[in-house]
Amino acid sequence: MNDALDGLRVLDLSTFLAAPQISAILGDFGAEVAKVEPPGGDPMRRLGVGSGGVSRMWALVARNKRSVVVDTTTAEGITRLQRLTSVADVVVVNQPEALLDRWGCTPPAILARNPGAVVVTVSCYGTEGPYAGRPGAGSLAEAFAGLTGLTGVPDGPPMLTGVPIGDTLVALSGVIGTLLACYHRDARGGRGQHVDVSMFEPVLTLLGPVLAGWDQPAVPPVRSGSRITGGVPRNVYRAADGSWLAVSGTTDDQVGRLLPLLGRDRPEDLARFGRSADRLLAADELDALVAAWIASMDGTQVLSALLEARIPAAPVNDLAGLISDPHVRARGSITEVEDGPEGPVLLPGPAPRLAATPGRLHAAAPGLGEGEAEVLAGWLGG
């Protein structure tokens, strides 16, 4: 059985966290990924290193890849790099344009050599507009695109998310753009093209419901903690045993099934909370009623009652609870990989799930130069 992307050659010139995940995800589904590294190794190998001297993040971004060492400070190295871009189906870069120009690897230069190439560039603000070329990162994209300003409690400061959402959104957007361009080329008889992935625009996609729900020129939405302005109840709640649950039962039908659990299904309660427009006017009151009810029972009791009433709810897992959850274990959603001196590393399983050509972890992160001979022989003939 062939993998979904079997035969797709991806040359990864990128580094750090966001852009390299594009090629890693493509590799999950069978693409042949060659990761270009300088003689001393990619800087990501040393970012936040552990006791073994190798970053555990390297296992995440370099899975399913082969390592090709290229010294771009020499004419020979630049020539090798250009030859590799000439035979790749996809090229992923996130270096500044001046550096790519020095290598002869700007999108126009690559497409001139290889008209069928899909050249994916990743930058904070994209390659067009007044801020093109301005340095940035996923966290800055979250701030610039409005996510940070909407994160946190109403009377507190704006907060960056506790995980690099911006970087991972970039990776997913980059994968979508890559596959769209490959489909245009391979299924529609088109040519290669430049895929311009900014870091802030995928965050805007995440904010789509907020943007669409803003009735200008009203005051823009503000920080609301774990609540949302357009629906109630939607929050995290603490149970009597100290556990936390997330509840999101904001439709009229869901609230209609919730009110009896709260002991508030009298006609006057239904009139006050039964319709969305009415309960939004009493959102604080309803949220407080839900919080008090949940606080009166242990988390397992609350979750059982809510699920029986078909009200969306889930435990707020820590990582230990997540990896031991029977559903996560049954689906293999998290994989433990033996990966070098740091020992086992937890990695998310490939997603989404394809019935006929599922993704899989083909190989752990390579050592420096590991797989280079195979790439040079297969791509360049030696």
- Each domain of the chain, given as residue ranges in start order, spans 9-206+350-380, 234-321
Q: How many CB atoms lie within 10 A of CB 296?
A: 11
Q: pLDDT band for position 54 (50/70/90)?
A: confident
Ramachandran bin of 48, using left for φ above 0, alpha for ψ from -120 to 50, beta for the remaining angles: left
Please identify which residue in the block is written with the tokens 């805007």.
204
pLDDT per position as a tens digit, 57-79: 999 999 999 999 999 999 999 99
Q: What is the pLDDT of residue 56?
A: 86
State the pLDDT at residue 55. Answer: 85
pLDDT of residue 31: 98
**Beta-strand relationship, 118-123 and 244-248:** unpaired
CA-CA distance, 35 to 12, in Å (whole number)? 5
Token code pair at residue 308: 């029986």
Half-sphere CA count of 147, side-chain side, radius 13 A: 25
Which amino acid is it at 343?
G
User: What class does CATH assign to 234-321?
Assistant: alpha beta
Q: Per residue in 326-366, pLDDT tens?
A: 999 999 999 998 876 667 889 999 999 999 999 998 888 99
pLDDT at res. 340:
63
Task: Kindly report, residue by residue over 151-202, the tens digit of the pLDDT.
Answer: 999 999 999 999 999 999 999 999 999 999 999 999 999 999 999 999 999 9
Residue 338, pLDDT score:
81
Element housing 314 (H / E): strand 313-315
Q: Is 198 helix (H, G, I), strand (E, B) or coil?
A: strand
List, for residues 229-286, the tens digit of each pLDDT value: 889 999 999 999 999 999 999 999 999 999 999 999 999 999 999 999 999 999 999 9
Q: Give the number of other Cβ atoms within 10 Å of residue 119's Cβ.
A: 27
Q: Are 12 and 36 in contact (CB under 8 A)?
A: yes
Superfamily per CATH, domain 9-206+350-380: Crotonobetainyl-coa:carnitine coa-transferase; domain 1 (3.40.50.10540)
What the block records as the tokens of 208 is 């789509």
Tell me, yes or no, if 101 is annotated catalytic: no
Mean pLDDT to the nearest integer, 6-16:
97
What is the bridge-based pairing of β-strands 313-315 and 244-248?
A: antiparallel
- For residue 51, is pLDDT > 70? no
* pLDDT in the model for residue 363: 84
Residue 1, judged by CB atoms within 10 A of its CB (0-12, 13-18, 19+), counts as: exposed
Say if residue 134's pLDDT is above 80.
yes
Mean pLDDT over each residue of the chain, to the nearest integer? 95
Residue 85 has pLDDT above 90, yes or no: yes
Give me the catalytic one of 167, 196, 253, 265: 167
Which of 60, 83, 96, 73 is CA-nearest to residue 9?
83
Give the pLDDT confidence score for residue 362 in this predicted structure: 82
Domains 9-206+350-380 and 234-321 are alike in CATH topology: no
pTM confidence score: 0.94
Check residue 133 and give left, alpha or beta (phi > 0: left; psi -120 to 50: alpha): left
